[in-house]
Amino acid sequence: MQQRIGHLVPSTSIGVERWAAQICKPVAIESAHAIARVSLPEIMSGPAIAPSQSGELTRAAAQLADAGVRAVVWSGSSADLHGAAHGRAMARWIEEVTGVRASTVTLGQLELLARRDIVSLALVSPGSEQTAGRLADTYLAAGFKISSVTALGLTTAREAAELPVSRVRRVLLDADLPDAQCVVVAGTELPVAPVAALVERELGKPVYDGARVAVHTGLELLGLCVTAPEWGEMFGAPHPAGVCCDTH
């Protein structure tokens, strides 16, 4: 029986659907990815989700429920900017609307780092320095050390999505410091996926970006694993039971 993963994304976002089918090709028979879009203010500036937008979110989440998804991942940046507690509240709300298990990219990212025993990280944000500082606060509050913060100063999701992969590779390499155990890229739009494995070989450490984390988190919610090392360490050799494939 095919298991469907729902992705709730801002209307300007293409990051998750850009890579999900390619990454999950080894389990294409077992899983499918459904996308529902939510019209929200431009995410680079990091607004909180206002009560007035709850109807739009409910509509999109209900569409995923209609599609028969068995798990939902919220890929908006609000949880990055407003902390893990906000992410958990978003996940609970989605579960109430859809009746299935849910998470967010931020929660998935934090859980992934903890399971890999990551303590320190280099943080890359496509947005402003102010936004990057708020992102750093989220990781600091979760107990991580921030070795460096890189802010690209982009103002829209489209700008981030259209950044040449050659520049993305350079950004990742330049963001690294010796005491960082990994590079974390906030948001889902920067095209990290095509160069992740290459950069990881060059740095000798993993790279975790929002788009691939969203895919990874959805698979985890259903107890599925993908072994596709060409997409980076995140999808490399299976980790011990309870790490890659636990069902929480």
Express each pLDDT in 148-188 by its tens digit.
Answer: 999 999 988 899 999 999 999 999 999 999 999 999 999 99
User: pTM higher than 0.85, yes or no?
Assistant: yes
Express each pLDDT in 125-135 by its tens digit.
Answer: 999 999 899 99
CA distance 205 to 191: 18
CA distance 130 to 133: 5
- Average pLDDT of the residues in 221-248: 71
Express each pLDDT in 190-207 by its tens digit.
Answer: 999 999 999 999 999 999
CA distance 153 to 146: 19
- Residue 73, SS3 per DSSP: strand
For 65-86, letters b (16+ CB in 10 Å) and e give beeebbbbbbbbbbbbbbbbeb
CA distance 180 to 37: 34
- Residue 240, SS3 per DSSP: coil
Q: In the numeric block, which tokens belong to residue 80?
A: 């990055």
- Average pLDDT of the residues in 45-49: 48
DSSP 131-163: HHHHHHHHHHHTT-EEEEEEE----SHHHHHTS
